[in-house]
Amino acid sequence: MSLIVSDRYSLIIGLGKTGLACAQYLAHQGERFQVADSREYPPFLDQLISEQPETPIHLGDFAHDLCLSASQIILSPGVSMQEPALVAAAKAGVPIRSDVDIFAQAARLAGVPIVAITGSNAKSTVTSLVGEMAKAAGLNVAVGGNLGEPSVSLLANGIDLYVLELSSFQLECTTGLGATVACVLNVSPDHMDRYDNLMAYHQAKHRVFQACKAAVINGDDALTNPLVPGSVTQTRFSLGDPDVGQFGVRKEGDKEWLVKGLLPIIAVKEMAMSGRHNVANALAAMALGQAVGLPMKAMIDTLMRFTGLPHRCEPVANIGGVDYINDSKGTNVGATVAALEGLGPDVAGKIILIAGGVGKGADFSDLVGPLSRYGKHTLLVGEDAQHIAQALADKVTFSHAIGMQEALTMAHGLAVSGDLVLLSPACASFDAYTGFEARGDHFAELVRTLV
């Protein structure tokens, strides 16, 4: 009897953080694979060569024959499925999978529950909040995905719960995720430079619900309603008065409460996070936590101490009665609208907004409403400043600034006691910074020079 050795291999496309994690995972599993990246010098090339010197690596344009010869393609989220070689491979029947697909298969085999969270905005906050709630409940929880560590890097023995933040890019080629509970927090236009229209983006997001056992739905956003079988438990959260067994907000006496049906849970003022948008985030996190059996006490305790994430409506300083807030993670219009609507009602004066960067094909007209209600002036910077200006023209007051330093100097000059200076760009940062973190750090550093 002779052994037949297959020459088929898995092909990892993209050698960023996710691609490297997939290479490490497949190597640990003893699987044959190759790696391809369109860049001449991808960021983790040296590390891969050091760790796995025998792994074939292909740099430059993706070769059709390389993709067609693969047993499967594991696609990094930064690479579009519309690449010609990938289109040809898909037509030829080569499976195209994500790292999340690989992760979910292993997690299901291990019998570990998965909380899967996506949405245009707030997914990092809610993912982190659920993770903290699980820790408070004494669970060994692994948190990652689009946030922190790639999903396959989380796989380990002894994990009680996985909590994943997932992007639309990751979900595009994830099939049958099978989460214990899945949620689309909200849907607003984003990445319109990659998707043909909002429906295509919406459909990618809703892949998170495939084969889920329970779903959490935003009752204030019809675009989050999933098409799932009747056997799937559905729980709604809303900033309004909830139905029995659902999560919402109710005023009792002089206090607003987060409630489940008729049961008060925690007063809004007792939460460590501020802003209306964070009330919604807290409700979503409790609904998700309930679905995987987290005790209410652990969830309440977490809400009383969790102050939020860096660069997400993060207080920087109060100078002369003016608050300076870093919301650099507001990288799309929906996120900036949420920040304006969440913070605006509690501002004694008005908001001076700093916005701009790489707009990703966005429609900025949704900024007009909240800026009309809460804004004093908007300062526009970056590559797509003119596109934002066109959306705001004749509706709200704005000025152009050359870079963050000039924008902040102008904002400082316009602000009076009671006002709020808000960096919430509604754009990506890559025209001027390495990422939203660097942009937020620069803003905070400049604010501190004003003291």
Which is the catalytic residue, given 17, 121, 123, 332? 123
- In the sheet that holds 72-75, the strands lie side by side as 57-59, 33-37, 10-13, 72-75, 96-97
Position of tokens 């060994």? 140
CATH class of 100-305: alpha beta
Which is the catalytic residue, given 146, 186, 278, 332? 146
State the pTM of this model.
Answer: 0.91
Stated length of the chain: 451
Is 123 a catalytic site residue? yes
- Percent of the chain predicted with pLDDT > 90: 95
Q: Give the pLDDT score at 206.
A: 97
Task: Indicate whether 4 pLDDT > 70.
Answer: no
Indicate the pLDDT class of residue 1, thresholds 50, 70 and 90. very low
**List of residues 6+ apart from 203 with CB closer than 8 A:** none
Which is the catalytic residue, given 17, 191, 205, 260? 191
Domain boundaries, the chain: 10-97, 100-305, 314-448
> How far is Cα 235 from Cα 226, in angstroms, rounded to an integer?
11
Is 58 a catalytic site residue? no
Task: Indicate whether 6 pLDDT > 60.
Answer: no
Q: Give the pLDDT score at 25.
A: 97
According to the CATH classification, is domain 314-448 in 3.90.190.20?
A: yes
Which fold would CATH assign to domain 10-97?
Rossmann fold (3.40.50)
Task: Indicate whether 308 pLDDT > 80.
Answer: yes
Task: Indicate whether 116 pLDDT > 50.
Answer: yes
Strand 72-75 and strand 57-59: the pairing is unpaired
Q: Give the pLDDT score at 191.
A: 86
Task: Indicate whether 305 pLDDT > 80.
Answer: yes
Residue type, 444: A
> How far is Cα 139 from Cα 132, in angstroms, rounded to an integer?
10
> How far is Cα 194 from Cα 135, in angstroms, rounded to an integer?
36
pLDDT, tens digit, for every residue of 28-81?
999 999 999 999 999 999 999 999 999 999 999 999 999 999 999 999 998 999
Is 17 a catalytic site residue? no
Q: Give the pLDDT score at 192.
A: 79
Q: Give the pLDDT score at 7.
A: 67
pLDDT, tens digit, for every residue of 228-251?
999 999 999 999 999 999 999 999
